Amino acid sequence: MALLTDRELHELVDSLSRQHFHKPFQDQVQFNFRLRTTGGRYIPVKRVIELNPKYAAEMAGDEFIGIIKHELCHYHLHIEGKGYKHGDADFKKLLKQTGSPRHCTPLPSQPEYKYLYRCKDCGQEYRRMRRVNTGRYRCGKCRGRLMKAEGE
């Protein structure tokens, strides 16, 4: 999917809002190029939906539409004064009704992990984005010593 203009993005969000929630989307939606680990976010104070442009560029259209529907759940529940946070029952119920995803899938360009550690005793593997001090930490399964695995 090509990157949309601000007007096209607002029209897409408004059409999805009318189609799935039967209500218009009257506030602001924009791409936020600084988002890294999330597909989008809703800012209640400003009533703004921010979307990660990488999901529009790298993923299939269904994934990006799912992210928009998820953020619209936050938006409409907040406006109605209902529970709009992830743990609220109203939010979970609306996600189910609209077929919105609870979480987005990771981007293909985002690495799964950088470092791989293995327990010397039981062989349990630990994948980490950050380095681990092997002298300080032990295996959570058998309390054995950790070592850096080969082929990282």
> Which of 71, 112, 150, 152 is the catalytic position?
71
Beta carbons within 8 Å of 131's beta carbon, 6+ residues apart: 115
- The dihedral built from the CA positions of residue 58, 129, 115 and 105, taken in this order, carries a sign that is negative
Does residue 80 have an active-site annotation?
no
DSSP state of 94: H
Q: How far is CA 140 from CA 91, 118, 130, 131, in A?
A: 35, 11, 17, 17
The catalytic site residues sit at 71
